[in-house]
Amino acid sequence: MDKEIIYLDNSATTRISECAKEKMAQAADIYGNPSSLHAMGSAAERIIRDAKTEILLSLGVRAVRDEDLRRLCFTSCGTEATNLALFGTAYAKKRREATRILTTDSEHPSVENSLARLAEDGFEIVRIPTRGGVLDTEALNASLDKPIFMASFMLVNNETGALYNVREAFGAIRRKNPSAVLHCDAVQGYLKVKFTPESLGADLVTLSAHKIHGPKGIGALYIAPRMLKERRIAPYLCGGGQEYGMRSGTENVIGIAGFGAAVREVCGSMPRSCEKMRELRDYTAEKLSSLGVILNRPSGESAPHILNLTLPDIKSQTMLNALSERGIYVSSGSACSSHSTHPSKTLISFGLTPHEADCSLRISFSEYNTKDDCDRLISALGEEISKLVRIRR
């Protein structure tokens, strides 16, 4: 792509880092099947072990031993990792003490639609409100009056950047329900905010490589030792028993190599890159507030890379097209839900009207963005707002 592109859609996906590309090219030459017992197979298997070690280290697992490697299960994406977490837990045991599942009202479709399927199978789904980007603690506490089977809360919202207090929520659930399985979709929070599965009190954590400068088509599910020991999770891809039996199918060695390399690189630069994203976001927010847009900033904590705003009576798709013509790429809400014609459920939960949600843009930053990118977005948005408002009059 040419140099003029300004890419501000990093919550949808990120540019693959040079380091990840290099590791992927090296892995492509080691084409043995990791299950094969010859030297080329072992070399491929080593790539998987190295990447797993890297990712487990990033999740706070110190001195990764062989038996720790089963704590990470590679999948084809974050969506599959979440499907494994939710369906794998729901169907691990035929007899369950409870059928109640807690979640938020602003989850990614990979959680929301999986839970809708579980609801058809008799599970009761309770959604905790997230108005203003904050988990409603009162509603959460009120929902703990009956036994909980499982909870699935995202760490960072993909449309607003709101950082939910998962640690506190999981603590409250666990106190009353020691055996509940706690899943966290950390796709948008991974390497943007500091956490470990332990610090969240999570049994299962979903990750995805393409949000952190790794390749698409590779994700992972962290599985806490107690889940494995007590067989609380069962695979739903059955076959040759790869990934310690948790996800059969020949591994995506090239993707895994890229995932591991991206994690190593981003981990190394994390405090600095997060600070940079935060500065760019805050700078952009401040300048944009004088253009008549409404900033949809979470009233609690937020991740550093996402800024959501509502345009003055201009449909987001119209603005998105106008910016795209200028080589500036942003998003009209979550890319994953852009197939839907309904206004974003997340923004409605946040407190916007359907019309406001329809006029909202998401700008998302990465460490590759510069202040110049922000200035060019700000002036393009300013010009397009005046133009589109004039046309309407």
Q: Would you tell me which residues interact with ligand PLP (CB under 6 A)?
A: 77-79, 108, 110, 154, 158, 185, 187-188, 208, 219, 336
Paired tokens of 312: 């003055």
CA distance 96 to 234: 14
Paired tokens of 18: 């040079």
CB of 207 vs ligand PLP, minimal distance in Å? 9
CB of 358 vs ligand PLP, minimal distance in Å? 20
CA distance 342 to 359: 12
Q: Pick between residue 54 and residue 112 the one whose CB is nearest to ligand PLP.
A: 112
DSSP class of residue 302 equals B
Strand order from edge to edge, sheet including 360-364: 294-295, 306-310, 360-364
Q: Considering only CA atoms, which of 193, 188, 212, 192 is closest in space to residue 17?
A: 212
Q: Which residues are the active-site residues?
A: 336
CA distance 19 to 89: 36
CB of 94 vs ligand PLP, minimal distance in Å? 29
DSSP three-state, residue 290: helix
Report the alpha-carbon angle 152-264-20, nearest 5: 100
Q: Pick between residue 74 and residue 149 the one whose CB is nearest to ligand PLP.
A: 74
CB of 176 vs ligand PLP, minimal distance in Å? 27
Q: Pick between residue 165 and residue 177 the one whose CB is nearest to ligand PLP.
A: 165
Q: Pick between residue 55 and residue 77 the one whose CB is nearest to ligand PLP.
A: 77
Could you tell me if 200 and 190 are in contact, meaning their C-beta atoms sit under 8 angstroms apart? no
Host H or E run for residue 261: helix 253-288
Q: Considering only CA atoms, which of 196, 178, 167, 392 is closest in space to residue 301?
A: 167
Minimal CB distance residue for ligand PLP: 78
Adjacent-strand bridge partners of 302: 162
CA distance 183 to 204: 5
Could you tell me if 109 and 337 are in contact, meaning their C-beta atoms sit under 8 angstroms apart? yes
Q: What is the end-to-end Cα distance of the chain in Å, rounded?
A: 37
Could you tell me if 312 and 292 are in contact, meaning their C-beta atoms sit under 8 angstroms apart? yes
Q: Pick between residue 316 and residue 334 the one whose CB is nearest to ligand PLP.
A: 334
